[in-house]
């Protein structure tokens, strides 16, 4: 499959997800019919407001405007673009030290370590470092750092080959993945029970080292509480968006590295058809 086809497939899958979300919003939002001209003017006014808020650095305000656009105009051809705007704002907020209602400003105490703080707030050291632009594990007592406090969860749609990252119920980002051939990925509610960087792949009783081109696990492994199953990277990115694995959930290496940095041990993974 060439690059052009992969991009087309990815765009199609995201569009399908956007349509699913729009249908949900329509069913759960009271919509009052408006003349088309009024709708167009309202959309233009909201987009102008978003642009003005963005110039002022009001990220929360910009996000609120795009959420209103999605809720008020679910039939717009731009709804997928607005949804991606919201996701991009969420991830940018997650990885920045800007104040957020879903985080706390923690003052480092003598004897603290990043791992200790991460355990206390059920987050990851990687996320703390990314959020505070820390280059290493060194921290200074008295300094205040941003720590994410809301739980993360993942929802995998096998039929759409997408993984949705949520925090406290809110969609943070949608990833294109591969699931099992013949619908073999198990459904159910699971937990992340192991995390490995550059994992070794055990195949037919033999170990395939991380550096081997035959190791299909990619750069990260997030195992669930079902033996031999998990979320991992890939050496075959051309398979993303298809049912192509032996049952695991496969992501691009860049995406799985991002997810690995965000979700702590014990995070919920729900897999549905």
- Per residue in 130-185, pLDDT (tens digit) is 999 999 999 999 999 999 999 999 999 999 999 999 998 899 999 999 999 999 99
Indicate if 226 and 135 belong to the same structural domain: no
Q: Find the domain containing 265 and state its range.
A: 152-272
Indicate if 191 and 81 belong to the same structural domain: no
Q: Are 272 and 187 in contact (CB under 8 A)?
A: yes
Indicate if 54 and 162 belong to the same structural domain: no
How far are the Cα atoms of 20, 53, 159, 243, 244 from residue 183, in angstroms, in the given order?
20, 45, 8, 7, 9
What CATH number is attached to the domain comprising 125? 3.10.350.10
Indicate if 250 and 262 belong to the same structural domain: yes
What CATH number is attached to the domain comprising 255? 2.40.440.10
Whose CA is closest to 190, among 265, 119, 244? 265
Neighbouring CB atoms inside 10 A of 145's CB total: 22
Indicate if 143 and 166 belong to the same structural domain: no
The number of distinct structural domains making up the chain is 3
What CATH number is attached to the domain comprising 7? 1.20.58
Indicate if 185 and 260 belong to the same structural domain: yes
Which stretches in the chain have pLDDT values below 50?
1-12, 15, 19, 22-38
């Amino acid at each position: 499959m060439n690059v052009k086809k992969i991009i087309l497939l990815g765009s199609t899958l995201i569009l399908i997800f956007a349509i699913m979300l729009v249908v949900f919003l329509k069913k759960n939002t009271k919509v009052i019919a408006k003349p088309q001209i009024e709708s167009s003017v309202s959309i233009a006014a909201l987009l102008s407001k978003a642009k003005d808020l963005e110039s002022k650095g009001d990220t929360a305000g910009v996000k609120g405007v795009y959420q209103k656009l999605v809720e008020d105009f679910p039939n717009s051809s731009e709804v997928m673009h607005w949804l991606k705007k919201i996701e991009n704002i969420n991830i940018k907020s997650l990885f920045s030290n800007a104040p957020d209602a879903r985080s706390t400003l923690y003052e480092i105490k003598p004897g603290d370590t990043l791992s200790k703080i991460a355990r206390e707030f059920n987050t990851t050291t990687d996320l703390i470092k990314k959020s505070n632009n820390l280059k290493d594990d060194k921290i200074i007592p008295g300094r205040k750092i941003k720590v994410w406090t809301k739980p993360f969860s993942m929802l995998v749609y096998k039929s759409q080959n997408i993984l949705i990252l949520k925090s406290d119920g809110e969609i943070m980002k949608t990833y294109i993945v591969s699931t099992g051939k013949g619908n073999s990925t198990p459904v159910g509610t699971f937990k992340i029970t192991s995390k490995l960087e550059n994992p070794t792949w055990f195949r037919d009783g033999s170990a395939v080292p991380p550096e081997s081109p035959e190791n299909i696990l990619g750069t990260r492994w997030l195992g669930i509480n079902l033996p031999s199953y998990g979320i991992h990277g890939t050496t075959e990115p051309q398979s993303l968006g298809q049912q192509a694995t032996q049952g695991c959930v496969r992501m691009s290496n860049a995406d799985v590295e991002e997810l690995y940095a965000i979700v702590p041990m014990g995070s919920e993974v729900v897999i549905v058809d």
